[in-house]
Amino acid sequence: MGTSVDLKAADGFVFPAYVAQPAGRAKGAIVVIQEIFGVNSHIRSVADGYAKDGYLAIAPATFHRVKPGVELGYSPDDMGAGMALKAAVEALPAPGVLQDIQAAIDHAAQAGKVGIVGYCWGGLLTWRAACELKGLSAAVAYYGGGVTTPGEIARKPKVPVMAHFGDKDKHISIDSVEAFKKAHPEVEVHIYSADHGFNCDQRGAYDAPAAKQARERSLAFFAKHLA
């Protein structure tokens, strides 16, 4: 359904992004930020899903600065490889990969107002984008690893934010989610009876009812803020 385009960041770095076009005129755009597994078949299907709902969807390859062509599965070995790549990207000098996300936002703006959604590490990058980047109108973070740490809680979002968490998530404690909620009453926080990664139908943690409810809420949120 989608195609690959090359984008150029402010520092001249060129990297690919997966783009899915809606059937008719776009009602806005959504930047889809990958997990630690690359722009794999799941992330492409997420982008395709938003395109079916009428948005131009673009998923930038946020690992490209450290390793091109990353497309992992969800085995323990894949998890380890993804964690190492994430650490390498996080170690880049500022602004690091945020400038690539900015390039994706700028490209997406051709379709109107731009939202951003991210999963796992992508949820963390989505939160940072909502606080640091320009050109966004809304942000949705799914189980963003690190979002509820004190350093990230200290950030202030520039745009409306929705955040989804699972109460069975061993990576993000409910206590830390409550601290995030208390610090950010302006953020719409939803907690599900689900595990980390509950949106991904290729993972054992997939929870269809939670994924459906979270997606419905996300679509309503984008419809409100990207109109």
Residues acting as catalytic residues: 120, 169, 196
Strand pairing report for 138-142 and 161-166: parallel
Using CA atoms, how far residue 64 sits from 13, 91, 113, in Å, is 10, 14, 26
Cα distance from N-terminal residue to C-terminal residue, the chain: 24
Task: List 140's β-bridge partners, or say none.
Answer: 117, 162
Helix (H) or strand (E) segment spanning residue 214: helix 208-226
Using CA atoms, how far residue 94 sits from 13, 33, 97, 108, in Å, is 14, 18, 8, 23
Among the listed residues 91, 93, 153, 108, the one whose alpha carbon sits nearest the alpha carbon of residue 128: 153
142: three-class secondary structure by DSSP: strand
90: three-class secondary structure by DSSP: helix
Among the listed residues 171, 173, 170, 179, the one whose alpha carbon sits nearest the alpha carbon of residue 152: 179
DSSP state of 110: G
The sheet that has 138-142: what strands, in order across it? 3-8, 14-20, 56-60, 29-33, 114-119, 138-142, 161-166, 188-192
